[in-house]
Amino acid sequence: MEGRRERPPASRAKKPAAKRTTTEHNGTVAARYHAGSSGPQRGARSRGAEPDGDPTKKPTTRARPGQASMRITDLWSSATGAAGIAKQPAFPELQPPAIQPPASPELQPPAHPEALEVARCPSYRRGARSVGQLRAPRASRKGLEETPEGKLKNVLEKLKLKREKISKAADIVNKIVKRLLSRMKNRESEFKDVQQLNTGSYYERVKISAPNEFDVMFKLEVPRIELQEYHDTGAFYLVKFKRIPRGNPLSHFLEEEILSASKMLSKFREIIKEEVKEIKDSDICVEEEKPGSPAVTLLIRNPEEISVDIILALESKSSWPISTKEGLPIKNWLGTKMRTSLRREPFYLVPKDAKVGNSFQGKTWRLSFSHIEKYILKNHGIEKTCCEVGGAKCCRKDCLKLMKSLLEQLKKEYQELEAFCSYHVKTAILHMWTAHPQDREWDPKHLSRCFDNFLTFFVECLRTEKLMHYFIPKFNLFSQELIDQKSKKFLIEKIEYERNNGFPIFDKF
């Protein structure tokens, strides 16, 4: 047109033809991720920019000299009762997979399985419409979930307590416990000076599945007592008063100067039953007494069924018994100062009868360190910020929860496993944490490997019939007197079956 100057076409430099990047369904996740790691250049609307190098080539890593697999036998010096701290074997640092699903912090809303970051690519600039953002096929995402690592993470998501259920259950339990405690303090009885102490898996933040079981201690301080060890067990004691002042409310529980655990628990149960009858606005009852149990169990049936174990405990602020001298082996883990500080805390005695043949000794009390266990589980890292907000995470508690769930599910199916309990699992993992104190040894990226190592150790404890109490090294929780060999072999078989077949029992809940 007249008056308009025609603009000459701009010259273009010739470029070699770029090969189109193809993503096959059978390609690796790492390859698909690499293929989409570079966005198109401005104006490149008809061609996809090819990244440098071979996108399917995996990086290689050099093995560290002296790297070795963890030897479970190195843990035995702690778990089987040897004094001192177990030798610290090197924990293998395996090469992490190309992409890992993010580890969800404890008590956070679980992420949807489809939301895992399988193949994240950078956002494309506006106008680059011919090159779409690469997405991993659904089959690939599902494949990640079906790996041992992915399956265990999914199990943990199922085991998480729902916040609304936690709040609802805690409100119900707190209301009833507070009422019982208040009424017990206001009546003239031997237990009017009791104080509340929360213990158990719920307060240790390792409760699984549902907040339907709570443990609460009603502690009663007893000054100036003398302990007489029962049959060299280290765990069970007869309790005497060094001096019985006139008007001691516990004096009528004495049998030849011995404070009878069974008599005192029986009176404690009687008072609780009387107070429960006065609670008219809740559907609650006291369950029948279980032989050898130190607890009075309340069953709340409405709106949901909740079990509350109220445990009478004698509190002593004296030095810990001599049987605990070599226990609590945390010097190389949480430190010597921490161990000294914890041993200055009171210890507790619960009315647990020692088993004598097929009967129970009614006068005995058993040592309890549940308050120390709760502290350790909350402060488990060698680094003070482990699992705190803003700190690095570990999978210590995850391994504990998985093993607790495995044992719980097996016990539901097999009566032969009745003798085993979650305390065996907790004791075993405390020994495991002691032998492997570094936080990096419990990296959540290696959850499957850590859990497998724990299973190996637990099975060896069953085979050797040795699992020593964490605070009382000479007290064997897997002794023949407590659990017969047949039951241990049966549990070994069931654990190995689940382990070798990808834990099918986890698919049943």
What does the domain layout of the chain look like in residue ranges?
A: 73-90+148-160+380-509, 161-326+346-370
- Residue 449 identity (one-letter amino acid): R
Q: Is the pLDDT of residue 145 over 90?
A: no
Selection from 312, 313, 311, 262 nearest residue 291 by Cα: 262
* Among 495, 458, 454, residue whose Cα is nearest residue 478: 458
Selection from 15, 43, 13, 53 nearest residue 131 by Cα: 43
Residue 499's CB is within 10 A of a number of other CB atoms, namely: 15
Please state the three-class secondary structure of 324-370 as a single string. Answer: HCCCCCCCCCCCHHHHHHHCCCCEEEECCCEEECCEEECCCEEEECH
Cα→Cα distances 106→29, 375, 383, Å: 28, 17, 18
pLDDT > 70? residue 417: yes
Best-predicted range by mean pLDDT among 26-40, 190-204, 454-468? Answer: 454-468
In terms of C-beta density within 10 A (0-12 exposed, 13-18 middle, 19 or more buried), how is residue 287 classed? middle
Cα–Cα nearest to 237, from 361, 419, 328, 357: 361
Q: What is the per-residue pLDDT for 160? A: 82
What pLDDT score was predicted for residue 200?
60
**42-54 per-position pLDDT tens digit:** 444 444 444 444 4
How many beta carbons lie within 10 A of that of residue 237, not counting itself? 23
Task: Among 79-83, 100-104, 131-135, 246-250, name the most confident range.
Answer: 246-250
Q: Phi and psi for 173 in degrees, rounded to 5?
A: -65, -45
Express as a percent the part of the chain with pLDDT over 70. 67
Tokens of 69: 């697999």
Lookup: tokens for 398: 């995850």
Q: Per-residue pLDDT tens for 146-178?
A: 688 889 999 998 888 777 777 788 888 888 888
Tokens 């009315």 found at:
351
- The answer, as to whether pTM is greater than 0.75, is no
pLDDT of residue 335: 95
What architecture is the 73-90+148-160+380-509 domain classified under in CATH? Orthogonal Bundle (1.10)
Contacts of 180 (CB under 8 A, 6+ apart): 272, 275, 276, 310
CATH of range 161-326+346-370; options 3.30.460.90, 2.40.340.10, 1.20.120.1200, 3.30.300.30: 3.30.460.90
**Six token digits for residue 117:** 């970051």
Q: What percent of the chain has pLDDT over 90?
A: 44
Tens of pLDDT along 6-33? Answer: 444 444 444 444 444 444 444 433 333 3
